[in-house]
Amino acid sequence: ETLQRIVSTLASKNDEIHNFIDMLNETIKNVQVNSSNAISELDEEFDGLFSVLDEMKGSMTSTIQQEEAHKIQTLQVKL
């Protein structure tokens, strides 16, 4: 009878361990999915920011070039 209780206890603990392992595996999957989603969102955010910065660079470059042309033209008129 004592041996039966020990075996029963061990079987119960084995089930608990397997349930815990299953829970950990599910948690790992959730962490992986959440991490992947976070990286995707971060990529989208940085792509958007890069696009805005690239547009600003184009606009500022154009402004500088126009100002350069205007100043050169003004100086050439004075010659």
**Predicted confidence band of residue 79 (pLDDT cuts 50, 70, 90):** confident
CA–CA dist 61, 3 (Å, integer): 85
Tens digits of residue pLDDT in 23-39: 999 999 999 999 999 99
Tens digits of residue pLDDT in 42-64: 999 999 999 999 999 999 999 99
Structure tokens at 38: 């976070």
- Position 37 scores a pLDDT of 98
User: Which residue segment(s) compose the domain that 6 sits in?
Assistant: 1-78
CA–CA dist 2, 9 (Å, integer): 10
- Position 48 scores a pLDDT of 98
CA–CA dist 73, 70 (Å, integer): 5
Number of domains in the chain: 1
